[in-house]
Structure 1
């Protein structure tokens, strides 16, 4: 989960940079769907606007529904941020952007009972001269809260590949050592054989074996 969380966090950061810094560019990124008990969880909701749609009045409504329950309003943005009376009172925080393309909220000190479905409704009324069209969008986030973070498949595969690489390097080094040892041993054996053959030659023949020196 750690690697996936880091990946999703990086994607979220990229989205925020695109929304916050490059106002003409907006990237919709899905929210994370798993949180660890006691942590802060950002519920990501992005509703992109085109350049010509920047002038608009935006209403944001957040709802929470437990398994088998009904939607309960927990937060809204209507000209200003407002936390509604709910079981989340005191634990919700606005985490959106000034241009209202990112309308995310964060749940602080999340608990196991916070698992469920979070709904983000965005309603925009565009301020055109001739008409005032209304655009609506809905984002559903099914959140699961766990007691502790577990290793995800990506990190497990990375560890396995690391161990395989270590084993491969160890075997390669062992093979190289054996090869070098045998090569040195053969060289010493050949040198000993040459020395033995030289000692076995009679002394008179050794003189004949001398290389003549030209004057």
Structure 2
């Protein structure tokens, strides 16, 4: 679960620690699946087109359970306080924003101890008031997250492929090692047989030489 959240968290760090002149904010979609019993990050980001314009933002989160039509209000954020308004999510929601400000760009939530009853649609709403020289201007941004709770963590395709490749590599190395051992055994056996043949030939030649010397030493009268 932590590995799934790392790309999102790293991107958030990039958003808020790059120089302002680079305009680092970018809207990243939230993850949509989590295993039961885990902690999950419901991601919600809304960037401003003009960073120099002062603004005030409030955020509301809503939840519609699977198979139902009505949304229920679950959290309201008005700097600096996030208030949980749903008994179902009481003590399980945690406000997450890297930078706490009255004009928040990140309105993400940690959902602790995920249950199957948390499956459904989540709605994140930004109500932003821009403080312009000619007067205030308000507008609303809404984002939706279709969330599914899994009986257990779903393995990433890359992880499955990586594991298969690992087993293929292990089997391949073992087969290669067997082939090398057979080759080395045959080569050593051949060299030993050749050595024994040379030794036998030397012994035969020595015997023949000794026999010849003995024959030459016999005087026939």
Aligned position for 1:81 = 82
Aligned position for 2:136 = 132
Normalized against structure 2, the TM-score is what? 0.80
3-state secondary structure, aligned to 1:127: strand
3-state secondary structure, aligned to 2:136: coil
Unaligned stretches of 5+ residues in structure 1: 208-215
Q: Given the superposition, is the C-alpha separation of residues 204 and 34 from structure 1 closer, same or farther in structure 2, using an over 3 Å criterion?
A: same
Question: Which is greater in Rg?
Answer: 2
Q: Given the superposition, is the C-alpha separation of residues 121 and 191 from structure 1 closer, same or farther in structure 2, using an over 3 Å criterion?
A: same
Indicate the RMSD between aligned Cα atoms, in angstroms.
Answer: 2.5
Indicate which of 100, 103, 106 corresponds to 2:107: 103
1:12 Cα shift? Answer: 1.4
CA–CA separation in structure 1 for the residues paired with 2:15 and 2:106:
7
3-state secondary structure, aligned to 1:132: strand
Query: What is the number of residues matched between the two proteins?
Result: 203
Unaligned stretches of 5+ residues in structure 2: 214-221
CA–CA separation in structure 1 for the residues paired with 2:211 and 2:124:
104
2:28 corresponds to 1:32: no
1:14 Cα shift? Answer: 0.9
Indicate which of 16, 23, 30 corresponds to 2:12: 16
CA–CA separation in structure 1 for the residues paired with 2:209 and 2:179:
44
CA–CA separation in structure 2 for the residues paired with 1:108 and 1:30:
20
Which runs of 4 or more aligned residues in structure 1 lie more than 4 Å from their structure 2 counterparts after TM superposition? Answer: 204-207
1:157 Cα shift? Answer: 1.9
Normalized against structure 1, the TM-score is what? 0.82
